[in-house]
Amino acid sequence: MAAWARTIVDWIRRRGGLCLSTAAVCCAAITDPASAAQPRLADPPVGLAWSAEEIDHATRDTATVLIDDARRRDQLGCQRHCEMLTRVFDRLMTQVREEAPQAAGLNWQLTVLRSASVEAMALPGGHVIVSEHFIDEAVPNEDALAFVLAHEMAHSILEHERQALTFARMLLPRQVPRTVADIYVEIDHNLGLLKAMEPVMQQGEREADELGLLLAAAAGHEPQRQLAFLERAAAQGEPRRGLVQTHPTLVDRLGWLRERLPLAQRLHQGRPAD
Ligand SMILES: [Zn+2]
Number of domains comprising the chain: 1
Quickly list H helices, 158-190: 160-171, 180-189
Note down the domain range covering 61.
Answer: 3-270
| Ligand 1 centre distance from Cα of residue 12 (Å) | 16
Q: How far is the CA of 213 from the centre of ligand 1 (A)?
A: 12
Q: How many CA atoms lie within 13 A of 116 on its CB side?
A: 0
Q: From ligand 1's centre to the CA of 250, what distance in Å?
A: 12
- Tell me, in angstroms, the distance from the centre of ligand 1 to residue 176's CA: 30
Residue type at position 9 = V
Q: What is the pTM of this model?
A: 0.84
CA of 212 to the centre of ligand 1 (A): 10
Helix 160-171 crosses helix 52-72 at what angle (to 10 degrees)?
110
Tens place of pLDDT per residue across the chain (274 aa): 334 344 455 545 444 333 333 332 333 333 334 444 433 333 456 689 999 999 999 998 999 999 999 999 999 999 999 999 999 999 999 999 888 888 888 999 999 999 999 999 999 999 999 999 999 999 999 999 999 999 999 999 999 999 999 999 999 988 888 999 999 999 999 999 999 999 999 999 999 999 999 999 999 999 999 999 999 999 999 988 888 999 999 999 999 999 999 999 999 998 544 4
Q: Identify the CA nearest to 226 among candidates 141, 156, 108.
A: 141
